Amino acid sequence: MVADDHPLFRHALVMAVESVAPHARIIEAATLDRAVQAAGATSDLLLILLDLKMPGSAGFSGVALLHAERPSVPILVISSAEAQVASPEARRYGAVGFIGKDQPLSVMEEAIAAALDGNSPAPLSAVETDDMADKVAALTPTQLRVLLGVLDGRLNKQIAFDLGVAESTIKSHMTTILAKLGVQNRTQAALAARALGLGADR
């Protein structure tokens, strides 16, 4: 799957995939919601190419949501963000690699081929790992959506309306989220997630 909201760059990524895997079936997504929906509906998905800044995404929420939806499918982040900062952050949330959009097509093709072959970078070092990031990455897709709603300052009933569920369901999710993150209230949960970049550009 190629998930990028810019048609021209998405087309370039499709061509890169076709060069590496000419017989692959390629799904395109221009929004995060579409990418998550497609990921959940495609049982034979082998690789996700993801732009960080897409409609519906904030910070590294796209990586976290897609990794929660399909934890066994490698995610290769391709972004204009500064690699030195964004690469380890993306990997904390489940990405197997990071490529800057300024890299030549040949570099992208090599990274795509490596990801399809199951060759990911070495694990993050102890210095790069982050306990709270691990906790956020362990949330389910629905729990992440609830947490993102909290980051937007929405009330439980508003989040419930957004997700099409009962308010009591959101309260139950919040209880689980607080326990998983090891925090006491919504404010602490929002601060923890925002500090990790999930609230950036929202």
E-only strand ranges, 21-118: 28-29, 48-50, 75-79, 97-100
Residues 93, 67: contact at Cβ < 8 Å?
A: yes
The position carrying tokens 């790069």 is 128
How much is the pLDDT for 176?
Answer: 93
How much is the pLDDT for 120?
Answer: 62
Pairing of strands 48-50, 28-29: unpaired
Residues 80, 100: contact at Cβ < 8 Å?
A: yes
Question: Rounded to whole angstroms, how far apart are CA atoms 147 and 121?
Answer: 29
Question: Rounded to whole angstroms, how far apart are CA atoms 148 and 200?
Answer: 11
Q: What is the pLDDT along the chain (202 residues), one digit of tens a residue?
A: 999 999 988 998 999 999 999 998 999 999 988 999 999 898 899 999 999 888 877 778 888 889 888 888 999 998 887 777 788 888 888 888 888 888 888 888 888 998 888 766 544 444 444 577 778 878 888 888 898 888 888 899 999 998 999 999 999 999 999 998 888 888 888 877 776 566 544 4
The position carrying tokens 């390629």 is 26
Question: Rounded to whole angstroms, how far apart are CA atoms 53 and 201?
Answer: 9
Q: Which residues pair with 175 in a beta bridge?
A: none
Question: Rounded to whole angstroms, how far apart are CA atoms 76 and 74?
Answer: 7
